[in-house]
Every structure is written in C-alpha cells, then in structure tokens.
Structure 1
C-alpha cells in the first residue's frame, strides 16, 4: 500500500509498498468532493495573500522605494534570458566603454531564473520579478496545506488546523521582509522546499527528486537543504533513499562551487564570508576544532542572532523543535551566523525566506505529536494570533498607511529622462534607478566602474561627478559633465571632457 496526497491508503501496482518505519498516519478518508473544496479554499487563501504581496510590491515599485541594486541585477539577468542572451550585468562591472558586464552566474548560481523570461515577452518592466515573487511565495501554501492536513486533520474531515497553519505561513514575517527588499532567487525556495518535504513525506521519491533538482538550481548553497533532507529521510527509516539525497545534495553543491562557477570566470571562494575563522575552509575547520567553544559563541554573539532565531520560531510557538524536519534549516542558519557579514543575522532582507517553509512544516509535524486533537487545534489558533500580532512590525502593515499609496513623480521623471538617452548607451546612475531602464540603456554603478560613461542620471550632478572622480583609478581620466536635460529634480548629464590625471610623482626628477 501507498499513501496519496490526502493521506488515505491506496492500492498501487509495481511500486514499493508501505515501508517499514513510516510515520505517515493514515487520514480517515474524506469524500473527493470535500477534498476538492478544500483545495479551492486554500487556493483562495493563496490568491488573496499573493494579491496583497503583489499590491504592496507594485505601490513600492512605483514610488521608487526599493533598494534597487538586487532588483536591477535580476532585471538585467532575466531580461537577457528573455532575449536569448547570456546574463551579463553591467552594473556589477564596467571596465571600458561597451563592456557587457559581469556574468551573473559567477556571482550566484541561479539558472532557475530563466523560467521567468517569458514575463518580459508580455511586459517590459522589472515589476515582472516582484509579481512573480509574490505568486511563488503564495503558491507554497498548497503543499504546506497538504502536509499539514495529513498531520493535523481530524476524523470529521474538517482540516481547520491545516487552514490555520497555511494562514500562519502566508502571514510569516520572513516573506514580508523578502518582498519588501527587492527581488531575489529566494522567491523559489519556499515553494520548492515545501514540495520536497511534502512529497518525501509520502515517499513519492520521483516527485521529491524533481523538487530537489530544481532547488539545486535556485542557489549554489541549496545542496545543503537537499543533503539534510536526505538525513531526515534516513532518520525516518529509508536509509538507501536518504543516503542518495544526502550524497546528491553535497555532490551537486561541491560541483557548482568548485567547478561550474570557476569555469564561468568566477571563484570558488566568491561567497567565503568567514574571514574571522580563517582564509580557507580547511583553516576555518581547524580553528573550530582547536576552539570548540566557537560553535556556541558564533551562534549567539552578537545577540541579534538570538533575537532573529527566536522571532523565527515565535509564530509557531517553538513547536518546530519537536520535529526532525527542522534539521533542514540548521545548515542555512549556521552558514549565516558563522559569517562575518552583519546583515546576514537580521530580520531584514530576504535570507529568512529560505527558512520559513521549513519552520512552519516542522511545527505542524511537532504539533501532530500532541496527544489531543483539540490541543493541536489550540496550538494552530494561538500560532495565528501571534502571527497577526506581529504584523504591525512588518511590510504588509504598510498597506494600511496612506504614505504607501501616495503617487511619486520621481520614477516617472527617471523613466522620461532615460528615454532621451540613445538606446544601448552606458548610463551612470544610483542603485534605486537601475530597475527603471526598461532595457534601453545599460545601468552603470559608481563603485564598479573603471571609466567614466558618456551619460549620467543624477539628482546631484556636482556631488556625483566628484564621487566618480574619486572612485576612478589613479592615473585614469578626470571627468566633466554638462547638463543635457532636467525634469522633476533629476538630470541627465553628458560627458564633455576627459583630462588625464597625472600621478603626484609625474615630472619630478
């Protein structure tokens, strides 16, 4: 026997039967019509949540309120895919006029972004990515519901607790922090991780393997999640399958970081952010062995790490700690907390979006171990109450603020001025302007250029030209720009003269 999505036993032919060590509790059968109705119900929840995510993102985008750096990078990346080009990003490198930029694969390995390319065939806007992110985050509600219903569904066929778990996920602050901070490859993580866990839970190994394979295309470190999924499967009794998942995850990550990214012109040390532990993985490992207390201190110092960890588990009332599924989050937490990059440790940004589906599903599994159904339902109600109480501190609460709905002329001014620049030109511009090029021009960043572009978009030309000249390499050009056109506080400047700056020792005997 095997178990279908609803959890009811079904007869199958030619497949591995019910395996020893299974912890999947058979759910008392519910009529197919009711199951379909539940899918419609949870689908409606996902649509409403996705609409709210997309609405917030749209209002913020039209206000020019995004950081812009990451959104601009991914806009150039997916736009290149849409035109069947390699994903070169000019804002990350500009060494000479016409430089195509840096290959995005050498920064992070996220080839799954190619699936978003068709969006640019319909609409020529970086908002495509923010909309896709909203849809992907909301879509994870479906596998989370299927998993929670098996764990928490009651004998009357009313999966009330599962609905509440879905609501807890959809209100989760890590999702809000992510869509409030540009677009990132993390958009794919909750959905694929949720599918991976849900399919592995019912031992549908082929579907789980597909989800794992797609997850490996999200980011170079997702092999850690696949590997720990293998450990979880092994603990549940499927040793051979678990070993395969663990080996595949670690092997794929090693291949990508050690071979694929360097072959593309990147470095296997690109994301080595552990300088305080050692300059290489071997040196860092030796230091940890010599000073085992670092395993503790690096996880709790500074205390913001503890605050973030507690806030991750608070909405589920810490019941995630009662499930082995929480193992999937451990390597991602260690990866961030051991790094010497402060913004990895906070609740802002997108990093916690990789963890949210794991935490919620682990909590549902932990709650299933409570003895009485009413106690499980009580936990789900309390978790939702906490999630709602946390809303004022995060992005969705902004929908109730009149300031988010106020129109802004700034974005329109930037788009109008960039339309006056010749197509295909290199334009120096601030990060928040990068997503508004429409693909007509190449955005150049002040800190990643070795030469002065012909054009500049600026709200303070004097300051930006001075900053550019300080940034350019010693002995290179000294740039001067003149006003070309201005509108609503923004200006297009054009390079008119370039004087070579002589080194201080030039001409001396």
Structure 2
C-alpha cells in the first residue's frame, strides 16, 4: 500500500536537509561570484531589486529600468515579491535577492529528496536528490540573475510531495500561492486540479481547476492591462500575429529545438517521468513555451526550466516507487545510474563549475576601476547605466538603462556610468560609444574614463 511505503522512519529523511544546505551554499556562491564579476544585469536583477525596493518603501512596484515610472505589475504579475521586503529593510542589496533565490531553490531539494528516499530507497533517493539539485533547470536559473519563478519551485515541490502522500488539502494549500508568482502559473494550479480529478477527488479537483482558470483570465484580461501603460498584456505578441489553434500541432514540433527541449526535460529521468501522472503538471509550462515564437522560450538556458525540475524528478520518484508498474531491479538501478551521470555532467559542464574555479575569485583590477568610478556617484542620484553596471547601483540610486535609445526615453539622468567593453544586448559597443559622444557634445561633462569605463556628469 502507498501509505505503508511512505511510513518508513523519518530519521532517514533527515539527510535531505544537509543536502539542501550544501546546495544553498553552491547556489549562493555562484550568484555572488557572478555579481562581483559584473556578470549580473539590469535586465533582470536590477529590475527585480527596484521592485523589491519599492515594496520596502511601501510604494507601488516601479522600475525605471523598464521605463519611466513603469508599474511592473502591468508587465508580469508577481505580487509574491512583496514577501522579500522585510529582508530588504535589513539588507538593502541585490545580494539579498540572490541569496533568497538560493534559499528557495535549495529548500525545494528537501521534498524531492525526502520523497525519493521514501518511495525508492534511501541511497537511490539521495542520488535522485543530488541529480535534482544539479539539474540544468536549477543551475541556469541561478546563473541568470534573479527571477520571481523561484518562488514556484519549492511550492511545487512541497505540493507534489503532498499529492503523492494523498494529502489532498495540504497539496492545494501549498500550490495555491502559485497564483501570486507569475501570470501563467494559475494554469499549473488548474492542472493540479486535473490531477486531483484523476485521483478520484472530483469535487476538490474541480474547484481547483476552475479557480486556476478563472484566476488566469482575471490576471491576464483585467489586472495586468489595468496597470500596463498601453492597457494590454505585452507578451501576447510571443504567439505571433496570425496564430490560430490550427497552427498548434506544427508549433509544438517546429523548429527542432522544441523537440530538443522536451528531450532535455525528460531524458535525465530516462523518460520514466512521463509514466507518472505527476508529469501532467508540466503540461501548461511546456505548452506555452513551445507555442511561443520567442526562441529563448525553447532553449535550456535562462530561468524558464526551473518550475519543471521538481515536477520531473518527483514524477521519476513516483514512477520508480509505483508497485503497479513492474520495473525490474536492474532497470531501476540503470535509471539511478543515469541520474548519477547527470549529476557529474552537472558539475563539469554546467554553471556551478565556476564556483570551484580559482580564477573566478581572483581580484580583477579592471573591475576595481569600475567600482571606484561608481563610488563617485552620490546616494539617491539618478544614474543611466549599462546593463552590467545597473545592478551595482540599484540599491542606492535610481537607475535607468543606458544607452537610452534602447528604451526610447530622453536622457535626463544626473550621471551616466557606462562600460564600453560590454557587448550584446541591449546595444553594441559602437552604439554605446556613439551615444556617449553625443552626450559629451551636449551638457554632460567627462568625470573620468579608465579601463573602458566612462563616468559622465550632467552640467547645469
């Protein structure tokens, strides 16, 4: 019986907490290393710090990086970020957000490992927990700034643990805050309702499914447009101008990167995760990503895979622990070996390997120059900064994105702090240098230029 399988001594599961502490340290070190190396960005760490800073000041969440007075609840719906405000009162720094992210992701290791140890075996469950903590979806999330979806990861993990335990009400309580994390996640909450219906909990499941769908529609059609300056949900364009339901089958398989995404999600579990009904919870996230015309949504980079990881690894544990699905012991061991290999690959080929690289922690004279120039900017000033310098300043100044041509706003900042070596989004080094020259021809005076960093100050 399922209850019997879950009733093993809880002392075994205490191993999950030390594992979570280890991953918190790894995630935190990676995030801090990136930030100290100017490898975090205004889009998105700077934006999220401006949001949390607004909440901490009891203001509407505004981001000047996103646009003049831009209310961010009209961009994405993430009121759960208000819970970070108390931390920010005591530690007003972007590192606060990075460590909060590390903690949220690390805590999710506990229910995944605990469930795997109970359903499979203590040793094999521990391997699954390590593989989960090193999964590409979590590592790429940690490696790319901070994002609100990290709140969804532990919520999903604890909710699914309760689903597997058949503690239906507790599962719903854990999953309900997903509605406050991001506008697409009410559909995942609705999918959880579908899972409950499949398990015979028709009344509860029906109410959850309806609540999820209604919340999704209210957020997308009413709340976000009401706070958006254009009165719309800005990301509908990711579907393309001429999208119809008849395009759906083709969109799901073309281009080939979408099939690679599916393989990347399920291959670390030897595709056994698909045999668990838990994997149904991944459908909403996978569906919107594969229907989108934005290539970033098909990739295994950025933060888009985070919410899928607890679903997939808990689905694997559910499959391996399902006595109704006859799996020879040899197959079970092969699957765990695959997880172990995935873990090794996660150490050697993924972002966490940077933590063990001594060069990452060596002082960089060029970065020291950049920090020295930024120290000349007074607190509470208005600064236009390039993408990599913005999160270095958002904790004590009002930061706009530079070059301003990327945000179609007039340059009105008191200070301009630019890294002319920065390449890629949102502007090339040539475009950055061009706008700096234009500013110097107008009313901005050069304060200092060194090692590719330029500091300008607006003259009266």
Same fold by TM-score greater than 0.5:
yes
Matches within 5 A, 1:81-480: 81-94=55-68, 101-153=69-121, 159-265=122-228, 267-276=231-240, 278=242, 284=243, 287-288=244-245, 291=246, 294-368=247-321, 369-372=325-328, 375-445=331-401, 446=404, 447-453=406-412, 454-460=414-420, 464=432, 466-467=434-435, 479-480=442-443
Deviation of residue 465 (structure 1)?
Answer: 6.4
SS at match of 1:118: helix
Deviation of residue 43 (structure 1)?
Answer: 0.6
Cα pair distance change 1:410/1:103, threshold 3 Å: farther
Do 1:147 and 1:198's aligned partners in 2 also have CA atoms closer than 8 Å? yes
Give a deviation string over 1:27-68, Cα, whole Å, max 9, x none. Answer: 27434xxx23x2331111111111111111111211112243
Do 2:418 and 2:454's aligned partners in 1 also have CA atoms closer than 8 Å? yes
Gaps of 5+ in 2: 421-428
Do 1:480 and 1:495's aligned partners in 2 also have CA atoms closer than 8 Å? yes
Do 1:50 and 1:135's aligned partners in 2 also have CA atoms closer than 8 Å? yes
Do 1:193 and 1:358's aligned partners in 2 also have CA atoms closer than 8 Å? yes
Deviation of residue 372 (structure 1)?
Answer: 4.5
2:444 to 447, 458, 481: 481
Cα pair distance change 1:367/1:77, threshold 3 Å: same
Do 1:63 and 1:410's aligned partners in 2 also have CA atoms closer than 8 Å? no
Partner of 2:13: 39
Deviation of residue 116 (structure 1)?
Answer: 1.6
Cα pair distance change 1:299/1:275, threshold 3 Å: closer
Cα pair distance change 1:373/1:434, threshold 3 Å: same
Do 1:414 and 1:436's aligned partners in 2 also have CA atoms closer than 8 Å? no
C-alpha distance in 2, partners of 1:275/1:207?
35
Gaps of 5+ in 1: 1-22, 95-100, 154-158, 279-283, 473-477, 498-509
C-alpha distance in 1, partners of 2:359/2:252?
38
Q: Which moved more, 1:418-427 or 1:139-148?
A: 418-427
Deviation of residue 494 (structure 1)?
Answer: 1.9
Deviation of residue 425 (structure 1)?
Answer: 2.4
Give the TM-score of the pair, scaled to structure 1: 0.81
Do 2:16 and 2:114's aligned partners in 1 also have CA atoms closer than 8 Å? no
C-alpha distance in 2, partners of 1:72/1:457?
15
Q: Which moved more, 1:401-410 or 1:245-254?
A: 401-410
C-alpha distance in 2, partners of 1:355/1:228?
13
Deviation of residue 25 (structure 1)?
Answer: 4.6
SS at match of 1:145: helix
C-alpha distance in 1, partners of 2:160/2:239?
34
Do 1:91 and 1:444's aligned partners in 2 also have CA atoms closer than 8 Å? yes
Do 1:315 and 1:384's aligned partners in 2 also have CA atoms closer than 8 Å? no
SS at match of 1:26: helix
2:20 is the alignment partner of 1:57: no
Cα pair distance change 1:212/1:462, threshold 3 Å: closer
Partner of 1:10: none
Supply the RMSD in Å over aligned alpha carbons: 2.6
Cα pair distance change 1:234/1:400, threshold 3 Å: same
Larger radius of gyration: 1
Do 1:181 and 1:349's aligned partners in 2 also have CA atoms closer than 8 Å? yes
SS at match of 2:236: coil
Tell me the number of residue pairs that the alignment of Structure 1 and Structure 2 aligns: 444
Give the TM-score of the pair, scaled to structure 2: 0.89
Do 1:323 and 1:366's aligned partners in 2 also have CA atoms closer than 8 Å? yes
Deviation of residue 170 (structure 1)?
Answer: 0.6
Q: Which moved more, 1:61-70 or 1:265-274?
A: 265-274
